[in-house]
Structures are given as C-alpha cells and as structure tokens.
C-alpha cells in the first residue's frame, strides 16, 4: 500500500514539475518552491499521509526512533535521556512520552516532555524533542488546516529557540528551528518569508560548527542532516551580490559540495544524500562547464538509483535522479518540491 501511494505521489509531482497538474498552472511555479527546506531535511519521522490524503502531500520518513521496535525502557536508551537514570519521576515521564510518541499521540507526548522541562529546565535535548513533536504534528494535518499548521510550526520554532536559550551550543536545537522556519515559510507565504533566510543560514552555519553528536541511528544523525540541509541551502541560494543585499546571505556551491560529501560519509545508506551529491556535482558542472563534474554527477545519480530505499521519500528522489541525469541544467534548482529559480522568486517581490 505504501509503495502504491508513493508511486501516485511521484506521478503527481512529475505533473507538477512539468506544469501540467490541474489547477497548478506553470506560471505560478516560481512562487511555489522557495525554501522548502524542511522537506529537504528528511528526518526520522513517521509517515503521516494516508493513501486517501491529497496526492501532492510529500510523505515523511519512516520512524527510526519512535518505532514500536524500540524498547523505551532499555537502560542504554534511558542513559541518553536527561535525568532518566537517576530520578524516577523523570524516568516515568520519558517512558510515557516516548510511548505516546510511538502511538503518534504527539501533542500528549510533547506535554510529557514539557513536564520534564519544568523539573529539569537546562537539558536542551528535551526542548528539541518537543519541537520535533510539534513539527510532526503539523505535518500530519491536512494542507487545508493552514491555521493549525502554522500554529504548530510556530510552537516548534519557539521550543527550538528555548532550547538554544537554555544551551547556546545545542546544534540539534538549531536544526529543528531551521526546519520549523522552513515549513513556516512554505505555509504562511514564501515571498513574505524572504527576510528569514539570513537567520536560517546562520542556524545552519552555527549548527554545523558545533558538530552535534546525537543520532537516532547510524543513518539518521543530527550532523548528517545539518550537512545535508547546508548543501541544499548553499546550492539553491544564488551566489549573487545583489541577492545577498536582499536576503542577507549568499549561496556557495563549492561549500555545498563539501557539506554533502561529509553527509554521505556519515550515512552512506541515505538515498537522499546521494541524490543531493549528484545534483550539486551537475550544478557545478553546468555552471563551470566542467565535464569531469558532469560525468561524476551522472555516475553518482545512476548509483543512487541502484540503492535500496531507506526513507519513504526515497521513491520521489529516485525519480528525480533520473530526471537530473536526463536534464543536468535543472540541477541548480532541484528540490523535492520540484525545480526552482530562487533569484526569479526574489525578483518577483519587486525589490530588485
């Protein structure tokens, strides 16, 4: 059932990319795909879209942490959680919160974690776990529930910021604030969110510099996901002085390549990381007329298409990999929502 649903989603996305989806004229495409960064940062969150939901909804990744196969009372796990090994009250709250998270009762789970914050306010891990739950809750709602989605994304952003306030060296908190801000941008209105891009870039830069060590699994790490997000961000944002005057940040495709190679080195089973590596190589190859990078990018993408899907969204990425092989000129604007020209979006604001 999941594969059938994802296949339908992929077909719909293909129509959307080609400007042929009913009700989505090609003339509107430049407005629809700026900073969809939360989709690009595919973390271990359970799929929230059912087969009966809107086909255009991108399925989120399979749960690698809160899944039923995780023993939430294992000593090894509890030792990683603030206070769970020493304080029976905190242990009970952590176990309860994680069990609720497994059952997709995300707000109730977050409320348990909030009680932990009251008892142990300095532990930044608790803050970003709360932020992640509220982000996941918003992603589980229908696109039509815009008000509620915005509310939960804002709560996620604020809890991530509280984690940064509690611990200015919480790289995971910076990742989740970045994720929440990205989805707020796509939900509230992309053009009005251009002013947030500079802060988003700073969150990535600071988060990466801190080299966070948290990992739900070897193929789902905070640092790997930060490198991945940084790669996409630096590839899509133009390396342009005039653009930097407007949004306060410039892209850097060589930095993007460095980031994504590091992400692949951390988690070599991630299809999305490999597709991003191929996209960056093709982008640089096209821009610099570098036949070596064009050839390497195509080879990476062909290799990615032979990999076993790890996340539910990998089926979409594998389809995009083929499209990039066929049309390398699209690589600089590739995102999971389609293909964008960020400079054109900014220019359409009337500021340039």
**Inside any domain, residue 343:** yes
**Inside any domain, residue 167:** yes
Residue ranges in the chain assigned as alpha helix (H): 2-17, 29-32, 37-40, 75-78, 88-102, 106-119, 124-139, 146-166, 171-188, 197-210, 222-236, 241-247, 253-266, 271-288, 291-304, 314-326, 342-347
Does residue 352 surpass a pLDDT of 60? no
**Inside any domain, residue 10:** yes
Please return the burial class of 179, using the count of CB atoms within 10 Å of its CB with bins 0-12, 13-18 and 19+: buried
- Tell me the two tokens of residue 327: 């049309």
- Please, which pLDDT band fits residue 28 given cuts at 50, 70 and 90? very low
**Inside any domain, residue 328:** yes
The CA distance from 352 to 345, in Å, is 10
**Inside any domain, residue 190:** yes
Q: Beta partners for 33?
A: none
3-state SS, residue 235: helix
Cβ distance 178 to 172 under 8 Å? no
**Inside any domain, residue 47:** yes
- Domain with 161 in it: 2-347
Q: What is the pLDDT of residue 25?
A: 34
Q: What is the pLDDT of residue 79?
A: 87
Please give the residue that has the higher pLDDT: either 114 or 188. Answer: 114
- Tell me the two tokens of residue 320: 């995009």
Does residue 266 surpass a pLDDT of 60? yes
Cβ distance 75 to 67 under 8 Å? no
Mean pLDDT of 104-109: 95
Whole-prediction pTM: 0.74
- Please, which pLDDT band fits residue 247 given cuts at 50, 70 and 90? low
Please give the residue that has the higher pLDDT: either 341 or 259. Answer: 259
**Inside any domain, residue 86:** yes
Number of structural domains (the chain) is 1
Cβ distance 77 to 71 under 8 Å? yes
CATH code of the domain covering residue 265 = 1.25.40.10
- Please, which pLDDT band fits residue 293 given cuts at 50, 70 and 90? very high
Find where tokens 């815009």 sit: 146
């Amino acid at each position: 059932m999941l594969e059938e649903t994802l296949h339908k989603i992929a077909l719909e996305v293909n129509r959307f990319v080609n400007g042929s989806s009913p009700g989505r004229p090609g003339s509107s495409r430049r407005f629809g795909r700026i900073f969809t960064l939360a989709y690009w940062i595919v973390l271990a969150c359970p799929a929230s879209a059912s087969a009966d939901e809107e086909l255009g909804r991108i399925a989120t990744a399979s749960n690698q942490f809160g899944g039923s196969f995780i023993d939430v009372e294992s000593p090894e796990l509890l030792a990683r959680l603030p206070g769970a090994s020493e304080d029976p009250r905190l242990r009970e709250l952590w176990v309860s919160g994680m069990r609720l998270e497994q059952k997709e009762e995300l707000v109730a789970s977050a409320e348990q974690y909030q009680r932990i914050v009251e008892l142990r306010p300095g532990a930044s891990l608790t803050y970003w776990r709360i932020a992640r739950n509220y982000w996941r809750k918003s992603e589980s709602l229908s696109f039509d529930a815009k008000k509620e989605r915005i509310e939960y994304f804002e709560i996620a952003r604020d809890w991530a910021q509280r984690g940064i306030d509690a611990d200015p060296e919480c790289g995971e908190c910076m990742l989740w604030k970045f994720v929440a801000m990205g989805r707020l941008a796509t939900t509230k209105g992309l053009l009005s969110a251009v002013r947030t891009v500079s802060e988003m870039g700073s969150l990535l830069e600071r988060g990466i510099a801190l080299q966070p060590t948290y990992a739900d699994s070897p193929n789902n790490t905070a640092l790997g996901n930060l490198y991945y997000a940084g790669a996409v961000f630096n590839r899509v944002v133009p390396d342009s002085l005039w653009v930097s005057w407007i949004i306060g940040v410039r892209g850097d495709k060589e930095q993007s390549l460095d980031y994504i190679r590091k992400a692949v080195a951390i988690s070599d089973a991630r299809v999305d990381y490999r597709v991003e590596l191929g996209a960056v190589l093709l982008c640089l190859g096209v821009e610099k007329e570098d036949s070596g990078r064009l050839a390497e990018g195509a080879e990476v993408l062909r290799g990615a298409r032979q990999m076993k899907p790890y996340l539910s969204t990998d089926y979409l990425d594998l389809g995009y990999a083929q499209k990039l092989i066929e049309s390398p000129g699209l690589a600089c604007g590739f995102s999971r929502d389609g293909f964008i020209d960020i400079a054109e979006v900014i220019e359409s604001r009337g500021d340039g």
